[in-house]
Amino acid sequence: MGVWQPTVEERRRLSDQVALYCYEQARQTVMESRETLLRLHEHYPMVLVSNFYGNIQTILQDFQLSEFFHQVVESAVVGVRKPDPAIYQLGVDAIGLPAEEVMVVGDSYGKDIVPAKRVGCHAVWFEGPGWAPEEVDRSLPDYIITHLSDLEKILL
């Protein structure tokens, strides 16, 4: 019995199917979150702090999210990556408020919640499956949510 060896065309077709599936899942998640972001945007200035590659503006525009963010602090642009608390300080500076008046929402305990708290921000942990197991102090975040719409119960 031999091992199946896909042709170049079969690999291309399969990789296209996987890419399309991932893109559609991301688009569906964004559409579900869009209404929450719109309502939060009506009440609060928002800054996006992200470990990204220099093209986050393109992604935000593609998913029609750029209108929600006052500014974007992107690691590849500013030269600081999470979990360095300095990237969160840049976000605080961009929003123009004292850290104790800023709420950080992040899905990574170690890369978002811990450094945001070190800067002095409040923090909401969007808990979900992580990339790797990590030790968590569930008392560190001010709130723990499992769906973005849960923010409305906290902030609105």
| Top-level class of domain 32-155 | alpha beta
- DSSP 3-state of 71: strand
Nearest to 60, CA basis, from 51, 49, 47, 69: 69
Contact by Cβ (8 Å): 50, 75 = yes
pLDDT of the chain, 156 residues: tens digit per residue: 678 888 999 999 999 999 999 999 999 989 989 999 999 999 999 999 999 999 999 999 999 999 999 999 999 999 999 999 999 999 999 999 999 999 999 999 999 999 999 999 999 999 988 777 888 999 999 999 999 999 999 998
- Model's pTM, two decimal places? 0.86
- Give the residue extent of every domain in the chain: 32-155
